[in-house]
Structure 1
Amino acid sequence: MPHPFKSGTLRRTLVIYLLIACLFPPILFSVYTYSSLHSILTGKIRSGIDASLKQEATGMENMLNDLDFVSKQFALDGRLAELVNRYLKASQTYDKAEIKQDIEDSLNLVNFTSPNVGLTVYYMPKAAEPVLFNNLPVTEGFSIDNLPPFVQYKGAVFHGPHRTQYKNSDNTVISSLRVVRTEQQTPVYIYLESNYNLFRKILNSALYGMKVSHYVFDEEGDALFADDGEPPLDPKQLRYEEIAASGGCPYRGYYLFGYESPQGWKLMTAVSKNEFNREINDWFRRLALLFAFAFGFAIVLATLVWRKVYGSIRKVNREIVRMTRDREAPVQYMQVEEFDQLLGSFQDMKTTVNGLITEIGHNERAKYQLETEKLLSQINPHFLHNTLNTVQWVARAGGQEEIDRIVTLLVQVLQYNMGKNSLIVTVGQELEALRHYIELQSYRYEDELSFSIDVEPGTESIAMPRFLLQPLVENAIYHGQSEEGGEIRVVVERQPDAPGVLTLRVTDNGPGMNEETLAGLLEDEGASRRGMGIGLKYVKRLLESYYYGSGDLLRIRSVPGAGTTLSVHIPIRSEVELYDQSAGR
Structure 2
Amino acid sequence: MATSRWNRLLRQMAHPFKRGTLRRTLVIYLMIACLVPSALLAGYTYTAMHGILKNKIQTGIEAGLKQEATGIENLLSNLDFVSKQFALDGQTAAKVNAFLNTDRMTEKVELSMNIEDNLNVVNFTNPNLGLMAYINEQADVPILFSNLSVRDDFQLGKLPVFVKFNGSVYYGPHRTQYKNSENIVFSSLREVKTSAGQPLFIYLESNYNIFRKLMSSNWYGMPVYHYLINDQNEVLFADEGEAPFAEEELKWEQAKQPDAEWGEHYLFGYESVQGWKLVTAVEKQVFNYEIDEWVRRIVLLFLGSCCLAILIAMLIWRRVYGSLRKVNREIVRMTGEREAPVRRVEIEEFDQVLSNFQVMKNTVNELIDEIAKNERNKSRLEMEKLLSQINPHFLHNTLNSVQWMARANGQDDIDRVVTLLVRILHYNMGKQSLIVTVRDELEALRHYIDLQSIRYEDDLEFIIAVEPEALSIPVPRFLLQPMVENAIYHGKHEMKSIIHITISIRGEQVELKVQDNGPGMELDKIRQLLSPSGEAQSFGMGIGLNYVQRLLERCYGSASRLHIERAPGGGTCLSVVIPVKMEEIRYD
TM-score range, shorter chain: 0.5 to 0.7
Tell me if 1:79 matches 2:87.
no
Identical residues among aligned pairs (%): 56
Aligned counterparts, 1:100-115, within 5 A = 100-115=112-127
Tell me if 1:208 matches 2:208.
no
Q: Secondary structure at the match of 1:186?
A: coil
Tell me if 1:66 matches 2:52.
no
The residue that corresponds to 1:285 in the other structure is 296
Equivalent residue in structure 2 for 1:310, among 321, 328, 348? 321
Taking the aligned partners of 2:18 and 2:212, their CA distance within structure 1 comes to 71
Taking the aligned partners of 1:273 and 1:3, their CA distance within structure 2 comes to 46
The residue that corresponds to 1:237 in the other structure is 249
Q: Which has the larger radius of gyration?
A: 2
**Deviation (angstroms), 1:50:** 0.2
Q: Secondary structure at the match of 1:145?
A: helix
**Deviation (angstroms), 1:12:** 2.8
Aligned counterparts, 1:422-501, within 5 A = none
| Cα distance, 1:94–1:249 mapped onto 2, change above 3 Å | closer
Tell me if 1:97 matches 2:101.
no
Taking the aligned partners of 2:244 and 2:209, their CA distance within structure 1 comes to 23
Taking the aligned partners of 1:3 and 1:269, their CA distance within structure 2 comes to 58
| Cα distance, 1:29–1:112 mapped onto 2, change above 3 Å | same
**Deviation (angstroms), 1:237:** 2.3
| Cα distance, 1:8–1:230 mapped onto 2, change above 3 Å | closer
The residue that corresponds to 1:266 in the other structure is 277
CA deviations on 1:328-368 (whole Å, 9 max, x unpaired) are x9x99xxxxxxxxx99xxxxxxxxxxxxxxxxxxxxxxxxx
| Cα distance, 1:134–1:3 mapped onto 2, change above 3 Å | closer
Tell me if 1:174 matches 2:186.
yes
**Deviation (angstroms), 1:94:** 1.2
The residue that corresponds to 1:252 in the other structure is 263
Taking the aligned partners of 1:2 and 1:56, their CA distance within structure 2 comes to 66
Aligned counterparts, 1:428-577, within 5 A = none
Q: Amino acid of the residue matched to residue 296 of structure 1?
A: C
8 Å CA contact 2:265–2:281 kept in 1: the answer is yes
Tell me if 1:88 matches 2:91.
no
8 Å CA contact 2:260–2:268 kept in 1: the answer is no
8 Å CA contact 1:161–1:226 kept in 2: the answer is yes
Q: Secondary structure at the match of 1:258?
A: strand
The residue that corresponds to 2:203 in the other structure is 191
| Cα distance, 1:8–1:236 mapped onto 2, change above 3 Å | closer
- TM-score normalised by structure 1 residue count: 0.53
Q: Amino acid of the residue matched to residue 149 of structure 1?
A: V
| Cα distance, 1:3–1:103 mapped onto 2, change above 3 Å | closer
8 Å CA contact 1:164–1:171 kept in 2: the answer is yes
Tell me if 1:298 matches 2:309.
yes
**Deviation (angstroms), 1:6:** 5.2
* Unmatched segments (≥5 aa) in structure 2: 1-12, 347-588
The residue that corresponds to 2:51 in the other structure is 39
Taking the aligned partners of 2:14 and 2:273, their CA distance within structure 1 comes to 82
Q: Amino acid of the residue matched to residue 228 of structure 1?
A: E
8 Å CA contact 1:222–1:239 kept in 2: the answer is no
**Deviation (angstroms), 1:37:** 2.5
The residue that corresponds to 1:54 in the other structure is 66
The residue that corresponds to 1:136 in the other structure is 148
Aligned counterparts, 1:115-154, within 5 A = 115-154=127-166
**Deviation (angstroms), 1:217:** 0.8
Q: Secondary structure at the match of 2:158?
A: coil
Taking the aligned partners of 2:331 and 2:163, their CA distance within structure 1 comes to 95
8 Å CA contact 2:235–2:248 kept in 1: the answer is yes
Q: Secondary structure at the match of 2:157?
A: coil
Taking the aligned partners of 1:67 and 1:35, their CA distance within structure 2 comes to 48
Q: Amino acid of the residue matched to residue 134 of structure 1?
A: S
8 Å CA contact 1:213–1:270 kept in 2: the answer is yes
Taking the aligned partners of 2:322 and 2:183, their CA distance within structure 1 comes to 78
**Deviation (angstroms), 1:309:** 2.3
**Deviation (angstroms), 1:185:** 2.1
8 Å CA contact 2:255–2:279 kept in 1: the answer is no
8 Å CA contact 1:254–1:272 kept in 2: the answer is yes
**Deviation (angstroms), 1:103:** 0.6
Q: Secondary structure at the match of 2:227?
A: strand
Taking the aligned partners of 1:27 and 1:192, their CA distance within structure 2 comes to 62
Q: Amino acid of the residue matched to residue 190 of structure 1?
A: I
CA deviations on 1:150-209 (whole Å, 9 max, x unpaired) are 111211110100000001110100000001121122210000000011011001012211
8 Å CA contact 1:151–1:264 kept in 2: the answer is yes
8 Å CA contact 1:10–1:310 kept in 2: the answer is no
Q: Amino acid of the residue matched to residue 204 of structure 1?
A: S
8 Å CA contact 1:250–1:273 kept in 2: the answer is no
The residue that corresponds to 2:413 in the other structure is none
Q: How many residues are matched?
A: 327
CA deviations on 1:209-265 (whole Å, 9 max, x unpaired) are 1110001111111111111111112112222123224x3142122111000111111
Q: Secondary structure at the match of 2:156?
A: coil
